[in-house]
Amino acid sequence: MSRSAAEDASLPAVAATERAGKLDDLERLSRLLDSQWRIPGTGLTFGLDGVAGLVPGIGDAATGAISAWIVYTAWRLGATRGIMGRMVANVAIDTAVGAIPLAGSLFDFFFKANNRNMALLRRHLGEK
């Protein structure tokens, strides 16, 4: 689904070099949240999302807010409603399940909402 003319008019034009820089920044943030560190001897990675989730209530709310900012920035870069819907669903699942003590942190090892969202956005924008 594409944006309406009114939606497009409300967004400033983003130059290709600026978009590439923003995508790289979002990619680094996504990696920090979901897969910054690897557990030696395994293929498992984790990020601040899993660690912050160990702090009841506050950790998941904080990382959920950062994930929402990634989604907002994706919208500013031109993500369609369909892509936005999938990205919001990924963040909602991650935040809701992540709020379950301990099980939510384990879930973060396998469901990496931010990395998924960046893959969706890059595919949509024709990057990488």
Amino acid at 102: L
pLDDT at 70: 97
> CA quadruple 7, 93, 95, 74: dihedral positive or negative?
negative
Residue 49's nearest CA partner among 120, 118, 125, 115 is 115
pTM value is 0.82
**DSSP β-ladder status, 45-46 and 37-38:** antiparallel
| Positions in the chain short of pLDDT 50 | 1, 5-9, 128
Coil, strand or helix at 45: strand
77 vs 107: CA distance, rounded Å: 29
